[in-house]
Amino acid sequence: MAENQEQRLGQVVAFDAHAGLGDIKDQQGTVWPFHCVSLSDGSRSVEIGAHVKFTVRFHVMRDEAFDIEVVAAS
């Protein structure tokens, strides 16, 4: 479980708008699943390829990305 709440940087590598589910790949290559309600802007939609910052928390039997915020590519 990754409960340390540190901010991570990554890129959205998959997103299904109908299901609201996606994946973010962080800078170390780990892929974190997320649900659209974890997008901090409330939009419930994000583009594949978007650069994001996020935290990881345990949720329903697995670690997931939360507090996801789209950032400018660096």
**Residue that has been written with the tokens 């299904």 in this structure:** 16
| pLDDT above 90: residue 2 | no
pTM for this predicted structure: 0.89
Question: Cα–Cα distance between 62 and 41 in angstroms, integer?
Answer: 23
Tens of pLDDT, residue by residue over 23-64, are 999 999 999 999 999 999 999 999 999 999 999 999 888 999
Side-chain half-sphere of 22: how many Cα atoms within 13 Å? 28
21-26 and 62-70 beta bridge pairing: unpaired
Q: How far, in Å, CA of 60 to CA of 52, rounded? A: 23
